[in-house]
Amino acid sequence: MENLDAKSISLWIMATIYTIAGILHFVIPKFYMRIMPPWIPYHKLMVQLSGIAEIALGLGLFFPQTKVLAAWGVVLLLIAVFPANVYHFQSRTRKDPPTWALILRLPLQLLLIYWAYTFTY
């Protein structure tokens, strides 16, 4: 088991967040389908696949043997879902978070990418 230091705690937090986020794709799929850009085909399938990917990557972060590969996967996943975040901002409805939160999420994505990148070596 790894030492219980700030980096290990950060890794466990990240792993938990992605695992839960992936599960939410199956709990509230309508939310995820609504923010899919129209040019992406098969919204339901894509939501399910991205949910499976998030669960697998989140769980992969928990194990030293798969941590680096899972961290690279998170980096790639965050890049892949960025268009959905842009589309969500552009197509915001009253049900969505406030505009400022959707704008803030865009640069936050870069911080999340960096956070995952710190576990790739």
pLDDT digits 0-9 by tens, 71-95: 999 999 999 999 999 999 999 988 8
Average pLDDT across the chain, whole number = 95
pLDDT tens digits for range 49-68: 999 999 999 999 999 999 99
- Whether residue 67 contacts residue 119, with contact meaning beta carbons closer than 8 Å, is answered with yes
Domain count, the chain: 1
Q: 109, 16, 27, 112: which is closest to 8 by C-alpha?
A: 16
Q: If 0-12 CB within 10 Å is exposed, 13-18 middle and 19+ buried, where does residue 68 land? A: middle
Range(s) of the domain holding residue 89: 6-118
Residues 6+ apart with CB under 8 A from 5: none
Residue 13 lies in a domain: yes
Establish if 1 belongs to a structural domain: no
What mean pLDDT comes out for the span 101-112? 95
Measure the N-to-C terminal CA separation of the chain; round to a whole number of Å: 18
Closest CA to 88 of 79, 97, 80: 97
| pTM to 2 decimal places | 0.90
